[in-house]
Amino acid sequence: MVFKKNHNTLVFKPSDGVVTLESASGFPGVNKTNRVEETNHFQLRNSVGTRDALLLLYRGQAGDEWFKVD
């Protein structure tokens, strides 16, 4: 019988404590980042900063104009 030894490797990635930066910045077509200061991932849904960032996105001011709302 042969036993293999397992090794755990820790990988640290930048995040807001909930979502990795890699995942959060993976929005296709957007080439601009709007940072909402002093707001964590859970607070974003009720943030004025989120509202402003989404309005920029919807108006085509946050990257390529691929998102259109009538």
| Contacts of 19 by beta carbon, 8 Å cutoff, 6+ apart | 41
pLDDT, tens digit (0-9, with 9 covering 90-100), for 38-59 = 888 788 888 888 888 888 877 7
* Position 65 confidence tier, pLDDT thresholds 50, 70, 90: low
pTM comes to 0.47
Residue 61 in this model has a pLDDT that exceeds 80: no
Domain positions in the chain: 1-70
Q: Determine if residue 22 is left, alpha or beta; phi over 0 gives left, psi from -120 to 50 gives alpha, anything else beta.
A: alpha
* Position 67 confidence tier, pLDDT thresholds 50, 70, 90: low
* Position 10 confidence tier, pLDDT thresholds 50, 70, 90: very high
